Structure 1
Amino acid sequence: MERKNGINGSSVQEFPLSTTTAKVIAKDEPKTCRAKFLVFLKRNLLVILTVSGVLVGAGLGMLLKNMNLTRAQMSYFAFPGEMLLRMLKMVMLPLIVCSLISGAASLDTRSLGKLGGIAVSYFLVTTLIASAIAVCLGLMIKPGVGAGALNTNTLGLEKITTNKQTADSLLDLTRNLFPANLVSAAFRSYATEYKNITVGNVTSGNFTYEMVPVGTETEGVNILGLVLFAVLFGVALRKLGPEGEGLISFFNAFNEATMVIITWIMWYVPIGIMFLVGSKILEMADVVLLVTSLGKYIMASILGHFIHGGIVLPLIYLLATRKNPFSFLSGLITAFATAFATCSSSATLPSLMRCVEENNGVDKRISRFILPIGATVNMDGAAIFQCMAAVFIAQLNNVELSGGQIITILVTATASSVGAAGIPVGGIITIAIILEAIGLPTNDMSLMLAVDWIVDRTTTIVNVEGDALGAGILHHINQQDLKKQRQLQGKEDEELAEVRVEVAANARAGEETSPLVAHVNLNPSQACDGPPDTIEETDTTESAL
């Protein structure tokens, strides 16, 4: 079939749609409500199962709580949930290292520096805002006022002691950035401890005891060091050019294979979450006493998470992209449910990466570069929890915070959240750093540990949300830069086309008007007759002269 083009009148071949294509299009557009519901169910089956797992687990935990199970029976009940955590931790290390190497190697050095600078600025600004929200809420709600008579012994809590100085914590953070052994960094991190040594002559009895900092290795992945090495290694491979293509392809394939394994694990998530939530409810001792004693603190922390996660972060995304943030967040429900159950940003990373890429269309190069860094560096929810804890303990001890102490809380929480472990109860150590920085006792930290399992769920959700929205903002900025480059390229092509047209017109004008120039005809059919014509033209020119 042919039809006339309305622009130049030329005929254009038109092919009718095949029967198979028509059937596929008809199939892709369900008309009945039942068909639409089935399509919705198919697309959101994992989300529905995950949310159902949380609800069923909570109900199952409350039901079994009245059966007075033994500790051994509780551990058996928690086994499927423990398996989920082990699966997520199994893929966490190769996912972080390989995704960062492939992401850094796939980005141009200039765009890498630009995106990295924007990401770090976004992480620091949002964490500082979160800390300010927590301090303001703490000073307004005053969760620690009136709780001075709270006796931790009635709650059955153990005292938490720490002899670590603030300076040592910050120095340990820097040391962990550059691990001495990459193999040991996969399962250990550096930490400073204090030991008593004798100074002086022991035999004569003229000696004193002195606290000396000693470096030790603690159990736990040094994610910060691995992240820095992976980024530097990816940039180095990019600089190598063709010589580094083999290793880049290897890490890309490793990363894709890891994502396939994650896809398989995701279908086990609803079952694991159900037993994780149920076992946590079974482990609760006296929830009523905790909530009545620390209810004000719990509600203030959750309110801070709601304000930051429900208002501030979506507003930043809206201003940066001019897009609806809640449609973006709707694609992250599975990741939020995983964060709620595991209380770990690192364990949620596989689910978050899959949701961001498949549901929200974020470029893989952006997500696999930014999200692992965000899971280590960006801790907005933890900053709210830690600052609220510092204000609560100050009010608990009847200490009026000065302006300098408030600024110290904000700066210390923002700086120390960079090295906070993305694991359950990882923020308790950071609270000790903040308390020591403002000169408050750390013996009341056991209260924070008592309710950490409640507040840590909303904390992790806000952490994950901040990482995802940051990836969305960087994806939008990257797309805008690409559009500008295409527009500039299009303008350059148009200018070159105009120059070509002008040159061709000038050349034809020269052929018609200049009687002094002998032009050679480049037509192949006249190539043999070229010399006589040239001679003729030359003779004419000479006679004219």
Structure 2
Amino acid sequence: MFCGVHWSSGSERNLIPANLVAAAFRSYATDYKWVITAAAGENVTSRNASYEKVPIGTEVEGMNILGLILFAMTFGIALRKLGRDGELLIQFFSNFNDATMILVSWIMWYAPIGILFLVASRIVEMEDVVLLVTGLGKYVLASILGHFIHGGIILPLIFLLLTRRNPYKFLLGIVTPLTTAFGTCSSSATLPSMIKCVEENNGIDKRISRFVLPIGATVNMDGAALFQSIAAVFIANLNGITLDAGQIFTIIVTATASSVGAAGIPAGAVLTIAIILEAIGLPTNDLSLILAVDWIVDRSCTVVNVEGDALGAGILHYTCLSELEPVKAELTGVKVEAVANPNSEEETSPLVTYAKQLSTPRNTIDPEPKESIL
């Protein structure tokens, strides 16, 4: 006789899927069940029976996000190894991603109406509306507090330990892009202002700022990873699900990996929360509650993202300061001298042709000069 107890995520088995097509629809999970056992050679009776907890692996409905992300990262590295031969396929995936983002931008125009009805349906289903509102308030408070600790203490502390310089003085020079990030909720919109401020106010080398900051605006999403993890835990608690160590590890890995691919636009990181919810088997219909309060959380999230980009550029600048060659002064003027091009076509004017023939030395065998028609 078997009696199911609970499900485990089976994160380790999901990292390397056996079938990529099946990974888009199914994932591996471990089901722990109690089985009645007895000593060898004895019949199972109520007296000699004993219960043993046995793990049984099985497949459950839901996308294997971990396996797909790991395959995508490995496949991307392999494409870069191909060099020019892999650029065509990389361009295809890049264009596919751009087209998808355009579709998402169209959907976002109708998002307020859809969110209104999704939240309304969720409120009707709840027996205690006060509990839902209180839970959302705690989620917003936890997200903002986490961003404040990470952006106001942890990141400046890392900057201080690696550069031995005052991090808050550095942050004072980028107040304008931080304010822009808070108002626009977009890392990409803040990029031009950030590049200007770190170069003019903080003296960061142009070769570092113009290399690190564009990459950071796309890849470095530590604020997004933080609030995605909090959102996943909030939805789990809302549904009365207790997360085990394997599921927490899955949230950390998936949030870190999915935040790298998040778009630097308003509400860009919310869409990737569905990936985390699918990875740990949580319902995705509660995502509407996150969208309802995302306009608050996304502001502090974007500020932490752009702050991490700027501090990363500052750390790289000060740690490599002795190795940086001085930037050559830009040319203020260019002196151009006219030089005859030997590969240019011959002049067709009869006057020029006649003059060239006269300048030819007489000791060479040339055809007789032709008179000009003029």
TM-score range, shorter chain: 0.5 to 0.7
8 Å CA contact retained: 2:62, 2:281: no
Q: How does 1:460-475 map to 2 (within 5 A)?
A: 460-475=302-317
Alignment-derived partner of residue 43 in structure 2: none
Letter in 2 for 1:218: T
Given the alignment of the two structures, is residue 218 of structure 1 paired with residue 218 of structure 2, yes or no? Answer: no
Given the alignment of the two structures, is residue 341 of structure 1 paired with residue 183 of structure 2, yes or no? Answer: yes
Alignment-derived partner of residue 189 in structure 1: 97
Given the alignment of the two structures, is residue 389 of structure 1 paired with residue 297 of structure 2, yes or no? Answer: no
Task: Specify which of 288, 291, 305 is matched with residue 446 of structure 1.
Answer: 288
Task: Return closer, same or farther for 1:407/1:169 CA change in 2, 3 Å cut-off.
Answer: closer
Given the alignment of the two structures, is residue 421 of structure 1 paired with residue 276 of structure 2, yes or no? Answer: no
Q: CA offsets per residue over residues 197-233 of structure 1, 9 Å max, x none?
A: xxxxxxxxxxxxxxxxxxxx52359xxxxxxxxxxxx
Normalization by structure 2: what TM-score?
A: 0.56
Which structure has more relative contact order (CA 8 Å, sep 6+)? It is 1
Alpha-carbon distance in 1 for matches of 2:134, 2:157: 34
Letter in 2 for 1:360: N
Task: Specify which of 172, 185, 196 is matched with residue 354 of structure 1.
Answer: 196
Alignment-derived partner of residue 159 in structure 2: 317
1:428 partner SS: coil
RMSD between aligned residues: 3.2
Q: CA offsets per residue over residues 31-72 of structure 1, 9 Å max, x none?
A: xxxxxxxxxxxxxxxxxxxxxxxxxxxxxxxxxxxxxxxxxx
Alignment-derived partner of residue 479 in structure 1: 321
Q: Offset of 1:411 from its aligned partner?
A: 1.5
Paired residues, what number? 235
Alignment-derived partner of residue 206 in structure 2: 364
Alpha-carbon distance in 1 for matches of 2:313, 2:303: 15
Q: Offset of 1:293 from its aligned partner?
A: 5.5
Task: Specify which of 198, 216, 237 is matched with residue 374 of structure 1.
Answer: 216
Q: CA offsets per residue over residues 244-298 of structure 1, 9 Å max, x none?
A: xxxxxxxxxxxxxxxxxxxxxxxxxxxxxxxxxxxx9xx9999xx9965611110
Normalization by structure 1: what TM-score?
A: 0.39
Query: Where in structure 2 are there 5+ consecutive unaligned residues?
Result: 1-60, 80-86, 104-111, 120-129, 326-374
Q: Offset of 1:170 from its aligned partner?
A: 5.1
What percentage of residue pairs aligned between the two structures are identical?
64
8 Å CA contact retained: 2:177, 2:194: yes
Q: How does 1:93-242 map to 2 (within 5 A)?
A: 165-166=64-65, 167-169=67-69, 171=71, 180=88, 188-189=96-97, 218-220=100-102
Q: Offset of 1:403 from its aligned partner?
A: 1.2
Alpha-carbon distance in 1 for matches of 2:244, 2:289: 23
Alignment-derived partner of residue 530 in structure 1: none
Task: Return closer, same or farther for 1:482/1:172 CA change in 2, 3 Å cut-off.
Answer: closer
Q: CA offsets per residue over residues 20-40 of structure 1, 9 Å max, x none?
A: xxxxxxxxxxxxxxxxxxxxx
Task: Return closer, same or farther for 1:284/1:442 CA change in 2, 3 Å cut-off.
Answer: closer
2:282 partner SS: coil
Given the alignment of the two structures, is residue 294 of structure 1 paired with residue 173 of structure 2, yes or no? Answer: no
8 Å CA contact retained: 1:169, 1:433: no
Q: Offset of 1:185 from its aligned partner?
A: 6.8
Alignment-derived partner of residue 305 in structure 1: 147
Query: Where in structure 1 are there 5+ consecutive unaligned residues?
Result: 1-161, 191-216, 222-279, 484-545
Greater share of helix residues, 1 or 2? Answer: 1
Alpha-carbon distance in 2 for matches of 1:350, 1:184: 28
